[in-house]
Amino acid sequence: MKTIIFWISIWSILFTTTDIYAQVKNAKTETFHVNGNCDMCKATIEKAGNKKKEAQLIWDSASQSAKIVYDAEKTNSDAILKRIALAGYDNEKYLAPDETYTQLHGCCQYERTLKGKEVAAVSSNHTHKQEHQHHSSDKTKTESHTFQTVMETYFPLKDALVNSDSKAATLQAKSLLQAIESLKMETLSNNAHQIWMDQVKEITTSANNIVNSSNITDQRKHFAALSTKLYLMVKASPLKSPIYYQNCPMFENGKGANWLSLNEEIKNPFYGSKMMTCGSVKEKIN
Amino acid sequence: MLLKKINITLLLLLCLLGTVQAQRTVTYHLYLQDTVVTYGGIKKRAIAANGQIPLPTLTFTEGDTAEIIVHNQLKESSSLHWHGVWLPNREDGVPFLTQMPIPPGTTYTYRFPIIQNGTYWYHSHSGLQEQIGMYGSMVFNKRKDDPTFRKGVDDIPSVSVMLSEWTNTKPEVVQRMLHTGNDWPGIKKNTVQSYVEALKEGHLKTKVTNEWKRMEAMDVSDVYYESFLINGQRSSQLAQFKAGDRVRLRVANGGASSYFWLTYAGGKITVVANDGNDVQPVEVDRLIIGVSETYDIIVTIPAENTSYELSATAEDRSGAASLFIGEGIRQLNTPLPRLRYFEGMKMMNDMMKMNGDMHDMGMQMSLQKMDMNAVMYPEMTGQQHEMQSSSDHSGHQEQNKHGNNMEKVTLNYAMLKATEKTTLDANAPIRELRFELTGNMNRYVWSMDNRVMSETDKIPVKKGEILRITLYNNSMMRHPMHLHGFDFRLINGQGDYAPMKNVMDIMPMETNVIEFEANREGDWFFHCHILYHMMAGMNRVFEVGNYNNPLLPDKEKAYKVLQKESNMIHFMAQNDFATNGNDGEAMLQNARWSLGTEWRLGYNDMHGYEVETHLGRYIGKMQWLMPFVGFDWRYRRMGEDEHEKNMFGQVNKKDNRSAISLGVMYTLPLLINFQAEVYHDGIARLSLMREDIPLSRRLRGGFMVNTDKEYMVDLRYILHKNLGIRTHYDSDMGFGVGVAVNY
């Protein structure tokens, strides 16, 4: 029985490979750099590039490259790469339209390393906005020892992880610990108080673990645990501004992980720049 | 006496001095030759000059004298018109109006002083030559000491960008197909808007209403083009520019019938001039360039090692040409998605009255400010949907994103403002004129005030008079109206700074006012620049002053030829070679007259042979009514199927019958042809017929029923522009299957 399965699979492999070559005449093979992230990207890239009897394409995420077999009399690599770019994927010859890129699924929003460096005087309002946000969070820090204060130390910790800055994460986790210790229970509602008492031990442990971990991968693991606990608190004790409970489906080989954010826009703390915008909003807590 | 002599010498001297200072003659030789191009994937004939398509760019500086020597090495006559250029009438290049055509094998010299600056272009004004390659750019540079010289505009690198389109179908055939209502272009473009498609998209009612109002499928353009070109290429790159550079593009639309959307992947487009005239810089995200317009735009290259796509997308979105500006990797533009035709049809239904007039629903449209076609743009309507949904979810991030979308700026004429006052001589007499742009799609007749050019005389104008012309577009298509020899002020709300133009795009239902001082003598053409509209008769001539043109000894006769050229007779024929006989017709038509013969030829005497010939004249703007005289001939031997009596009880015993008739044909709602005919022997016949019901993209249905108790139903599947498979049932000849060939 096993041998039969073996032979069937051998045959099917042989058959499919010969099929690819049989489809494309005057075959010419070339390999090009094509950016992308995940299996979803792979499907889109290959679908965009493939054309019956004209072009067959295999994209590999590890090498960020696409092997293209095409009929040199019917088409050329330029046309194929243009199709791929129009589907949203930057490559050696073409950059995807910005609108198409932003419409890709969160998981597929790869880092656009092929984009040229912008010259002066074009983008300035972007950085400006970020500064503004920091500023406002600094201001509120001075207020009394409420759960709000705890969360105000959580968000900078998250930002440190977004920036893949392990040292900053350690520092922020320390101030989180301080905020946890100095939280005044009387500021909590009955319900929130109950939840706090149930969770505070694990919250403190997670925060401690972040302080004590030397590498960012471990810090992120503990941050995932921390976030789940704090989520329960946030639900019970609403903050001044709405909070977004966000999800990264890929963390820990597909187990996924969640975090809390002040912004609806995804900035993934679990992978940093590698998959900055990968993720989705699970819930908005007002 | 002596004094006079001295005066003359002085004058002469002055003239000479003038020439030494400014006059510089710049000469170009243009060798017109047939060539072969593969723009549409297969080899086709085109016309090139000096081996180039587009024709070479001609560059002059204001103050130069242009000398252009045309060597016509074609097998046909030709001409060149200098679009937007102020020149003596005899140099304007319109055969039979300002000169005689340049015969094959001869050389002809155009010579005129350059008295303006800006971006212009030139093209053939002979027949349909413009469609197959005869267009080229012209640049008139400002003099360095020109007080209007603009820093950052006139001193930055500039590139001529000539837009055009290519069809593998010979333009003469394109023109004939437009008149004969061949819907092959629609099939190729997938714009048939058939009943099946309407049903699928939930627009059946829209389609029925549309046909009820006697409209055929709506489109924003009529010709199928295999490819669109920028400087003769589908895609090309200007790699000489690098990050941070500002580039001035001198864009001219040399397309015969295509409007183009211009979009740029590297950010905003700054419009700095239009039709050769400076305008105050205005930043936009996109603009539409009408047929024969020119726009000077400035774009910036924002990042290193990147070239940014400037796309010229045909208005009907059937294709686009790309120009990549900069060096390195190519940043693409978001392609413009396919139009939503049924939305457009719905809009047209609302705008069209039963009598074929347009109805603007009190919107007072003008100056491209309200683009009714926007209902068909998925990128716009999509936005509206998202806007609604985002207000439900109330995410500030999302709203922000749409905020950006909303801010996308599309240029319109109201945004054009001249850099200097353009007011006309306040003392000059003003004459008001009004034209209504008219036409109908069904027979492809285009006219002004429902008169084609062959039905009108030249319009006499006193030299120095100001013509203030109000144009109202009462047709379903937009028209780029072009005036030869002058720039006109387009009254657009900018007061004294109204922009100067020589082409005005006018959309359906718009009313626009233009004015100009008719201070150059001669016969100046005023026409729609869509080549096939011009050739269908949408032209007028302003005859300014009493100009004596030495190139045209017999002006009257020449004008008659010109009139005839814009109302050519076209021939169409079709025949179904079917198992039960031959079914067909042949027609000769022009804008008003129709001579047609229909036949049904069986393969035996019992089925019979029948020929009907009609000579008729179409009446009215929409041409729904056609009275005619007819001649019928029939021979058959009656078999078992004897319907001798018609519905009126009249008996017709003759198997061999020749009859003369008088009748009338009228197009009813749903495009059903009603025909009433009385023969010399008193026998009457009424019939209803509808041909070419678009059932699906390629399937057409039809029926006929008449008071002779004859009827017919048919189905035709279109395989090719000249070929289809047809099956029909005919009460005389029975069931048949055959091959339908049409010309």
pLDDT at B392 over 60: no
Same domain, B576 and B516: no
> How far apart, in whole angstroms, are the C-alpha atoms of residue B113 and residue B66?
6
| Interface contact A93-B396, CB threshold 8 A | no
- Separation in Å, CA of B384 to nearest CA in chain A: 17
Q: Is the peptide bond before B281 cis (omega within 30 degrees of 0)?
A: no
Task: Give a three-class secondary structure readout of B538-599.
Answer: CEEEEEECCCCCCCCCCHHHHHHHHHHHCCCCEEEEEEEEECCEEEEEEEEECCCEEEEEEE
Question: Using an 8 Å Cβ cutoff, are B45 and B85 in contact?
Answer: no
A118 in reach of chain B (CB within 8 A): yes
For B108, residues 6+ apart whose C-beta sits below 8 A from its C-beta are B69, B70, B72, B102
Rounded average pLDDT over B373-379: 73
Chain B residues close to A86, C-beta within 8 Å = 332, 335
In this complex, which of B306, B335, B398 lies closest to A95 when CB atoms are compared?
Answer: B306
Instruction: Name the residue range of residue B51's domain.
Output: 22-137
The single-letter DSSP state of residue A96 is P
Using CA coordinates, name the residue in chain A closest to B303: A118
Question: Using an 8 Å Cβ cutoff, are B262 and B308 in contact?
Answer: no
Question: Using an 8 Å Cβ cutoff, are B267 and B300 in contact?
Answer: yes
Task: Quickly state the pLDDT bin for B406 (edges 50, 70, 90).
Answer: low
Q: End-to-end alpha-carbon separation of chain A, Å? A: 60
Same domain, B439 and B588: no
pLDDT at B22 over 70: no
Q: Which residues of chain A have pLDDT under 50?
A: 18, 122-143
Q: HSE of B360 in the Cβ direction (CA atoms, 13 Å)?
A: 16
> How far apart, in whole angstroms, are the C-alpha atoms of residue A153 and residue A135?
14
In this complex, which of A96, A115, A265 lies closest to B397 when CB atoms are compared?
Answer: A265
| Interface contact A95-B332, CB threshold 8 A | yes
> How far apart, in whole angstroms, are the C-alpha atoms of residue A58 and residue A56?
7
> How far apart, in whole angstroms, are the C-alpha atoms of residue A135 and residue A156?
12
State the complex-level ipTM: 0.78
In this complex, which of B243, B265, B397 lies closest to A119 when CB atoms are compared?
Answer: B243
B516: CATH: 2.60.40.420
Question: CA triplet A96, A100, A102: central angle to 5 degrees?
Answer: 105
In this complex, which of A82, A116, A265 lies closest to B305 when CB atoms are compared?
Answer: A116
Question: CA triplet B60, B62, B66: central angle to 5 degrees?
Answer: 45
Chain B residues close to A119, C-beta within 8 Å = 243-244, 301-304
> How far apart, in whole angstroms, are the C-alpha atoms of residue A241 and residue A239?
6
Task: Quickly state the pLDDT bin for B39 (edges 50, 70, 90).
Answer: very high
Report yes or no on B310 lying in a domain. no
Same domain, B87 and B128: yes
Question: Using an 8 Å Cβ cutoff, are B85 and B123 in contact?
Answer: no
Task: Quickly state the pLDDT bin for B1 (edges 50, 70, 90).
Answer: very low
> How far apart, in whole angstroms, are the C-alpha atoms of residue B357 and residue B621?
9
Residue holding tokens 């770019």? A85
A108-122, B62-76, B624-638: range with highest mean pLDDT: B62-76
Q: Given the DSSP bridges, would you call strands B25-37 and B500-501 parallel, antiparallel or unpaired?
A: unpaired
Which residue of B304, B307, B329, B336 to mutate against A (max A Cβ within 10 Å)?
B329
Same domain, B78 and B109: yes
In this complex, which of A86, A115, A118 lies closest to B332 when CB atoms are compared?
Answer: A86
Phi, psi dihedrals of residue B283, rounded to the nearest 5°: -90, 130
A198 in reach of chain B (CB within 8 A): no
Report yes or no on B57 lying in a domain. yes
Tell whether the torsion through CA atoms of A16, A22, A23 and A24 is positive or negative: positive
Which residue of B331, B390, B400 to mutate against A (max A Cβ within 10 Å)?
B331
| Least trusted range by pLDDT, from A66-75, B275-284, B366-375 | B366-375
| Interface contact A119-B303, CB threshold 8 A | yes
Mean pLDDT over the full length of chain B: 86
Q: Could you give the number of structural domains in chain B?
A: 4
The single-letter DSSP state of residue A185 is G
Chain-centroid distance of CA B192 in Å reads 19
Report yes or no on B248 lying in a domain. no
The radius of gyration of chain B's CA atoms, rounded to the nearest angstrom, is 29
Report yes or no on B363 lying in a domain. no
| Interface contact B329-A97, CB threshold 8 A | no
Can you name the residues that pair with B522 across neighbouring β-strands? B544
- Which residue type does B548 have? N
- Which residue type does B512 have? N
Using CA coordinates, name the residue in chain B closest to A90: B331
Question: Using an 8 Å Cβ cutoff, are A223 and A259 in contact?
Answer: yes
| Least trusted range by pLDDT, from A3-12, B270-279, B593-602 | A3-12
Task: Give a three-class secondary structure readout of B670-717.
Answer: HHEEEEEEEECCCCEEEEEEEEEEECCCCEEEEEEEECCCCEEEEEEE
A98 in reach of chain B (CB within 8 A): yes
Report yes or no on B412 lying in a domain. no
Instruction: Give the residue numbers in B contacting A (CB under 8 Å), as ranges.
Output: 243-244, 265, 267, 301-306, 328-335, 395-398
User: Of the residues B77, B102, B137, which one is the last residue of a structural domain?
Assistant: B137
Q: Given the DSSP bridges, would you call strands B329-331 and B306-314 parallel, antiparallel or unpaired?
A: parallel
Can you name the residues that pair with B513 across neighbouring β-strands? B470
Portion of chain B with pLDDT greater than 90, in percent: 53
- Which residue type does B104 have? P
| Interface contact A117-B304, CB threshold 8 A | yes
pLDDT at B362 (0 to 100) = 61
> How far apart, in whole angstroms, are the C-alpha atoms of residue B47 and residue B138?
18
Task: Quickly state the pLDDT bin for B183 (edges 50, 70, 90).
Answer: confident
Same domain, B679 and B643: yes
pLDDT at A196 (0 to 100) = 86
> How far apart, in whole angstroms, are the C-alpha atoms of residue B94 and residue B81?
6
Phi, psi dihedrals of residue B71, rounded to the nearest 5°: -105, 105
Q: Which two tokens stand for residue B540?
A: 């007028």
B58 vs A143, which has greater pLDDT?
Answer: B58
> How far apart, in whole angstroms, are the C-alpha atoms of residue A129 and residue A123?
11
Chain A residues close to B303, C-beta within 8 Å = 115-119, 122
Can you name the residues that pair with B626 across neighbouring β-strands? B665
| Least trusted range by pLDDT, from B4-13, B113-122, B329-338 | B4-13
User: Of the residues B105, B137, B169, which one is the last residue of a structural domain?
Assistant: B137
Can you name the residues that pair with B517 across neighbouring β-strands? B466
In this complex, which of A97, A114, A115 lies closest to B334 when CB atoms are compared?
Answer: A97
> How far apart, in whole angstroms, are the C-alpha atoms of residue B298 and residue B153?
8
pLDDT at B341 (0 to 100) = 82
pLDDT at B385 over 70: no
Q: At what angle do helices B378-393 and B396-406 cross, to 10 degrees?
A: 150
A92 in reach of chain B (CB within 8 A): yes
Q: Helix (H, G, I), strand (E, B), or coil: what is residue B266? A: coil
Using CA coordinates, name the residue in chain B closest to A82: B332
- Residues B314, B317, B323, B324, Cα dihedral to 10°: 160
Using CA coordinates, name the residue in chain B closest to A99: B334
| Interface contact A93-B329, CB threshold 8 A | yes
Chain A residues close to B398, C-beta within 8 Å = 264
B263-277, B397-411, B593-607: range with highest mean pLDDT: B263-277
Q: How many CB atoms lie within 10 A of CB B320?
A: 21
- Quick one: B406 exposed, middle or buried, by C-beta within 10 A (0-12, 13-18, 19+)? exposed
For A172, residues 6+ apart whose C-beta sits below 8 A from its C-beta are A153, A156, A157, A159, A160
Residue holding tokens 């239904």? B349
In this complex, which of B267, B305, B332 lies closest to A96 when CB atoms are compared?
Answer: B332
Same domain, B587 and B454: no
pLDDT at B102 (0 to 100) = 96
pTM of the model: 0.77
Which residue of A32, A73, A122, A246 to mutate against B (max B Cβ within 10 Å)?
A122
pLDDT at B642 (0 to 100) = 57
| Interface contact A95-B330, CB threshold 8 A | yes
Model confidence pLDDT, tens digit, residues B551-591: 988 888 999 999 988 888 888 888 989 888 888 899 898 88
Using CA coordinates, name the residue in chain A closest to B329: A93
Chain B residues close to A93, C-beta within 8 Å = 329-330
Report yes or no on B346 lying in a domain. no
Question: Using an 8 Å Cβ cutoff, are B444 and B554 in contact?
Answer: no
Report how many Cβ contacts below 8 Å link chain A to chain B.
61
For A21, residues 6+ apart whose C-beta sits below 8 A from its C-beta are A27, A69
Same domain, B435 and B575: no
pLDDT at B2 (0 to 100) = 46
Same domain, B599 and B684: yes
For A84, residues 6+ apart whose C-beta sits below 8 A from its C-beta are A34, A45, A48, A49, A66, A91, A94
Report yes or no on B575 lying in a domain. yes
In this complex, which of A95, A118, A264 lies closest to B329 when CB atoms are compared?
Answer: A95
Report yes or no on B688 lying in a domain. yes
Same domain, B443 and B530: yes
Chain A residues close to B330, C-beta within 8 Å = 85, 93-95
pLDDT at B61 (0 to 100) = 95
Same domain, B528 and B642: no
pLDDT at B299 (0 to 100) = 96
Same domain, B389 and B450: no
Using CA coordinates, name the residue in chain B closest to A95: B331
Same domain, B480 and B591: no
A100 in reach of chain B (CB within 8 A): yes
Q: Helix (H, G, I), strand (E, B), or coil: what is residue A37? A: coil
A99 in reach of chain B (CB within 8 A): yes
Model confidence pLDDT, tens digit, residues B484-521: 999 999 999 899 999 999 999 999 888 999 999 999 99
Domains belonging to chain A, first-starting first, are: 23-108 (3.30.70.100), 143-285 (no CATH)
